[in-house]
C-alpha cells in the first residue's frame, strides 16, 4: 500500500528542492604544489609554491566565495613558527596581486627594462634577487573579482565590493590560511600597494578586533589612507596643496623647471611653499590681496612649468588631469598618472585630459603575459577563467563606508588605534616622487596628522624613490625598496633618513 502525500508535504518538498537548486554545491577547493630553487639575496633559496583556491563561508557554513592565492614557503630546515609570514596584495579597488608578486616581492619576477615604451614579446620570468622569501614566507591574495577569485554560485559579487566588506573577506582568508598552515605563532606582516595600503591599514585594526591576530609590521607602498587628501572637490583644497610637490618634480624631470641640483631639494622647497603661502591663498579665496595672489601665481609658474595665464584660468587650482595634458602640450605629449616620467601621444593634442595613461600602457602587457604564463606554466595551476589582472570596472560602484558618497574614507585613525593597541607594530611608508595616483606629500601629510602618540613616532619610517606608483619598475628603486621591506620584516631597518 502506497503512503499518501499530503498537499502540505508536497509544498515542503518543493521548497526543499528549490532551496537545493538555489544553493548548488561549491566547486571543490583546488591546489597545485610545485618546488624549486631561486637565487635570492645572492644565495640559493629552496621553496614550495602552492597555488590554490580557498572557499570563504558564511556563519551557516554556506559558501560565499572562492579566493585564489599563491603561497611560498621556504623548505630549508627550521621551525616554521619562528619564520615570519607576510600577506601581500595590490589595490585598485579591483586589482589582483600580480604587480607586487611579479614585480617586487615574489621569488620570480617579470624581466622588463625601465623605459618609455612597452618592450616587445616574449616576456621572460626570471629569479627575483630582491624577493623577501629569504626572510619571510609569502602569501599573495587576489580579492574577490580579481585574479581567479570569484563569488560562489548564487552569490552576488557586489557583496564583496566595499571597504568593510573587503576587510571582512580578506581578513577571513588570512584567518583560514593562518589556521590551516599552522602559523598562528608566526610573526605576521601585511604589505599592500595603492588601495592595498587602505586595505592593509584597515586590516591591521580589523584583525586585532575580530580575530585577535596582531600584525608585527605593515608595509604601505604608494599609500592612500585619508581620501580627503587625494580627492579635489569644491571646498576641498587640500589635494591641490599636496599634489604640488609632485607637479614640481615632474616638471623638473621633463626639463620644464631648472635651477635645482636634485629632486629632494626642489620638493622640500615646494612643499614648504605649498603648506605655507599657497595654502593660505587658497584658504583665503577672494579675501587674498592682489599682491599676495600675484606673488603666489609667479612662484606656482616657476615651480610647475605651467604658464601664469593657464594657472590664472584654473584659479590657481590645477587638477591632475589638466596637469597631465598641459605640461608638455607644446610637444604634443601627455604625462603619466601612475608614473609621470612616462609620456603619451593623444589623437587630440588640444583636449582637456589625456586619452590614456602611458605609464600603465607600458607595463600592462608584460605583467599580464608574465602572470598568466607563470601561473599556468611553472605553478601548473590550470583554469579557463580569465585571470583578472586589473578589473576595476567590475567592482564599481565601490562602497567607501557607511556615510554615503560624500564620505572621505579615513583609515589612518584605525592604523593609529592598531599601533596604540600594539606598541611594537612597525610601519614602512614608501612613496615615489613621480606618482600622481597617490602623491608622496599627501601620504606623508596623512601620517603626520594621524594623531599618533609621540612615544610611537619611531615606529614609522618614511622613504621616497625616484620613480612612480610602481617604483619597482625602476631597478635602483626596486633594490632599495626591497631592502627597506626586508628591514621591516627582520627589525633591522637603519635610522630614518
pLDDT tens digits for range 295-316: 999 999 999 999 999 999 999 9
Whether residue 24 is contained in a domain is answered as no
What pLDDT does residue 477 have? 96
Q: 102 with 175, same domain?
A: yes
- The CATH number for 394's domain is 3.40.50.1820
pLDDT reading at 7 higher than 60: no
Q: Is residue 210 part of a domain?
A: yes
Q: In this structure, is residue 19 part of a structural domain?
A: no
Domain that holds residue 68: 31-228+364-490
Domain match, 116 and 222 both: yes
| 359, 393, 414 - which closes a domain | 359
Percent of the chain scoring above 90 in pLDDT = 85
- Is 495 domain-assigned? no
pLDDT at 403: 52
Same domain (yes/no): 198, 266: no
What's the average model confidence in pLDDT over 465-482? Answer: 96
Question: Are 369 and 383 in the same domain?
Answer: yes
Asked if 369 and 484 sit in the same domain, the reply is: yes
Per-chain mean pLDDT for the chain = 92
Give percent above pLDDT 70 in the chain.
Answer: 92
Residue 16 has pLDDT above 60, yes or no: no
Q: What is the pLDDT of residues 484-495, one digit of tens each?
A: 999 999 998 664
What average pLDDT does this structure show over 371-395? 95
Q: Is 351 in the same domain as 370?
A: no
Residues 104 and 212 in one domain: yes
Q: How many domains does the chain have?
A: 2
For residue 21, is it within any domain? Answer: no
- Tens of pLDDT, residues 423-461: 999 999 999 999 999 999 999 999 999 999 999 999 999
> What mean pLDDT comes out for the span 47-72?
96
Q: Is the pLDDT of residue 206 over 60?
A: yes
- Name the pLDDT band for 382 (thresholds 50, 70, 90): very high
Q: Indicate whether 497 pLDDT > 50.
A: no
Closest to 324 measured CA to CA, from 351, 353, 346, 350: 353
On whether the CB atoms of residues 463 and 484 are closer than 8 A, the answer is: yes
Residues 267 and 218 in one domain: no
Most confident of 5-19, 191-205, 341-355: 191-205
Domain for residue 2, yes or no? Answer: no
Same domain (yes/no): 192, 254: no
Tell me the pTM: 0.92
* Residue 258 sits in the same domain as residue 284: yes
Would residue 313 count as lying in a domain?
Answer: yes
3 assigned to some structural domain? no
User: Which own/partner contact pairs does 74-82 have at CB distance under 8 Å and 24+ positions apart?
Assistant: 74/45, 74/46, 74/47, 74/133, 74/134, 74/137, 75/35, 75/46, 75/47, 75/48, 76/45, 76/46, 80/137, 80/181, 80/182, 80/183, 80/186, 81/182, 81/183, 81/185, 81/186, 82/185, 82/186
Residues 93 and 239 in one domain: no
- Each residue's pLDDT tens digit, 216-256: 999 999 999 999 999 898 899 999 999 999 999 999 999 99
Say whether both 204 and 120 belong to one domain: yes
Among 340, 359, 378, the domain boundary falls at: 359
For residues 13 and 173, the model is more confident at 173
Residue where a domain terminates, one of 359, 377, 409: 359
Amino acid at each position: 500500500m502506497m503512503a499518501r502525500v499530503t498537499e502540505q508535504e508536497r509544498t515542503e518538498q518543493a521548497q526543499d528542492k528549490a532551496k537545493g537548486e538555489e544553493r548548488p554545491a561549491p566547486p571543490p577547493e583546488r591546489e597545485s604544489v610545485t618546488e624549486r630553487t631561486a637565487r635570492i639575496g645572492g644565495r640559493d633559496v629552496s621553496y614550495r609554491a602552492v597555488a590554490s583556491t580557498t572557499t570563504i563561508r558564511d556563519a551557516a557554513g554556506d559558501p560565499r566565495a572562492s579566493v585564489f592565492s599563491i603561497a611560498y614557503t621556504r623548505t630549508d630546515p627550521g621551525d616554521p613558527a619562528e619564520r615570519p609570514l607576510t600577506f601581500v596584495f595590490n589595490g585598485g579597488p579591483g586589482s589582483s596581486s600580480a604587480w607586487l608578486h611579479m614585480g617586487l616581492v615574489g621569488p620570480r619576477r617579470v624581466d622588463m627594462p625601465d623605459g618609455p615604451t612597452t618592450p616587445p614579446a616574449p616576456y621572460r620570468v626570471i629569479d627575483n634577487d630582491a624577493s623577501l622569501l629569504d626572510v619571510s614566507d609569502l602569501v599573495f591574495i587576489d580579492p574577490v573579482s580579481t585574479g581567479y577569485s570569484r563569488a560562489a554560485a548564487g552569490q552576488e559579487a557586489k557583496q564583496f565590493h566595499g571597504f568593510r566588506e573587503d576587510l571582512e573577506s580578506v581578513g577571513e582568508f588570512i584567518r583560514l590560511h593562518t589556521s590551516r598552515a599552522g602559523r598562528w605563532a608566526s610573526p605576521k606582516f601585511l604589505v599592500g600597494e595603492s588601495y592595498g595600503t587602505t586595505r592593509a591599514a584597515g586590516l591591521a585594526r580589523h584583525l586585532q578586533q575580530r580575530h585577535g591576530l596582531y600584525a608585527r609590521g605593515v608595509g604601505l607602498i604608494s599609500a592612500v589612507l585619508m581620501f580627503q587628501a587625494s580627492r579635489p572637490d569644491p571646498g576641498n583644497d587640500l589635494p591641490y596643496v599636496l599634489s604640488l610637490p609632485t607637479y614640481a618634480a615632474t616638471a623638473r624631470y621633463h626639463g620644464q623647471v631648472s635651477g635645482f641640483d636634485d629632486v629632494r631639494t626642489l620638493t622640500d622647497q615646494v612643499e614648504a611653499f605649498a603648506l605655507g603661502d599657497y595654502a593660505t591663498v587658497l584658504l583665503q579665496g577672494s579675501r587674498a590681496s592682489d599682491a599676495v595672489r600675484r606673488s603666489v601665481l609667479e612662484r606656482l609658474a616657476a615651480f610647475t612649468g605651467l604658464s601664469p595665464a593657464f594657472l590664472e584660468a584654473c584659479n590657481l587650482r590645477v587638477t591632475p588631469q589638466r596637469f597631465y595634458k598641459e605640461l608638455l602640450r607644446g610637444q604634443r605629449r601627455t604625462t603619466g598618472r601612475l608614473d609621470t616620467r612616462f609620456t603619451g601621444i593623444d589623437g587630440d593634442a588640444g583636449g582637456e585630459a589625456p586619452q590614456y595613461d602611458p605609464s600603465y600602457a607600458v607595463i600592462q602587457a608584460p605583467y599580464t603575459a608574465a602572470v598568466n604564463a607563470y601561473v599556468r606554466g611553472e605553478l601548473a595551476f590550470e583554469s579557463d577563467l580569465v585571470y583578472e589582472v586589473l578589473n576595476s570596472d567590475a567592482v564599481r560602484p565601490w562602497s567607501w563606508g557607511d556615510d554615503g558618497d560624500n564620505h572621505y574614507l579615513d583609515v589612518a585613525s584605525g592604523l593609529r588605534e592598531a599601533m596604540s593597541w600594539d606598541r611594537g607594530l612597525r610601519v614602512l611608508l614608501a612613496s615615489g616622487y613621480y606618482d600622481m595616483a597617490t602623491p608622496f606629500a599627501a601620504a606623508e601629510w596623512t601620517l603626520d596628522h594621524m594623531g599618533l602618540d609621540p612615544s610611537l613616532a619611531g615606529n614609522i619610517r618614511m622613504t621616497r624613490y625616484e620613480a612612480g606608483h610602481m617604483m619597482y619598475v625602476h631597478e635602483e628603486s626596486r633594490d632599495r625598496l626591497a631592502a627597506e621591506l626586508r628591514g621591516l620584516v627582520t627589525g633591522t631597518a637603519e635610522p630614518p633618513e
